[in-house]
Amino acid sequence: MTEIAVSVAHRLEGRVAIVVGGGQTPGETIGNGRATAILLARAGATVMVADRDESLAMETVEAIIAEGGRADAARLEVTDDEQHRALVARVVAEHGRLDILHNNVGVSIAGGDADALELDPDTFDHLWQVNLKGMWLAARHAIPVMREQGSGSVVNISSMAAKLAYPLVGYKTTKVAMLGLTENLALTNAANGIRVNAILPGLMNTPMAIEARVSQGTPRDEVVAKRDRRVPLGRKMGSGWDVAHAALFLHSDEARFITGIALPVDGGQGLTG
């Protein structure tokens, strides 16, 4: 899908961001994390792109630098508390502050997710470690810096799977839990000037969503067409750029009186029940 041509210059000038999950699954389209990292940089932020595969994070960084933006990459295993601590410490040492934490982490099919009666217990534990614990660990180290500053913005990427029917139990339950984490962090940090919100993407034409299904043997055109038909708005899935623009809004001063929300970015899919 094509990118929306919207001027975003200077909306985040002087701010420092960490985008967790800012690489992406290889594929034909752009992922939510990469699109968000690029857009935050276009808006003036200095972006630390963190990903478990540092080479994929570097691809995002190279795209940002090619446009004249400021970015660096770091390897991050989201289940490792010490790596989160070190990442935040590095950002503060290099830039003196941390204004934005963007948590773009989630795995389902590629992580072995399954029906509740078929899912292996160890896989269930792993999905919760990656999808939920990783977000909590990132916030655990970023928020103290933001408290000291008296400001900050955190956005957690959940999913419309939290609200709608979704057959795989690991992804469904962790995405619901992310909303509870978001509300808890929003309320307990509001007095410190920190805003915490969630985005719920619907059906997106991103590598994570499409490639896992193609790898199971379904032709790409069939996967895309089936998902497109389920979207009321234009009968077409959204893209990583749609999630990125929602994230830019929530991280910007335009959303300065918004905290604790779960924002659907779903083309009206949530209206279908």
Active-site residue numbers? 171
Structure token pair of residue 95: 């830039």
Which residues are within 8 A (CB) of 237 and not within 5 positions of it... i.e. 6 or more apart? 1, 202, 203, 204, 205, 224, 227, 228, 231, 267
Quick one: tokens of 105? Answer: 């982490």
- 202-214 in b/e form (b: 16+ CB < 10 A) is bbbbbbbbbbbbb
d(CA 115, CA 217): 19
Element (H, E) at 55: helix 54-66
8 Å CB contact between 179 and 189: no
How many angstroms separate the most distant Cα atoms in the chain? 51
Of 21, 34, 89, residue with least CA distance to 64: 34
Q: Is the Cβ–Cβ distance between 57 and 23 less than 8 Å?
A: yes
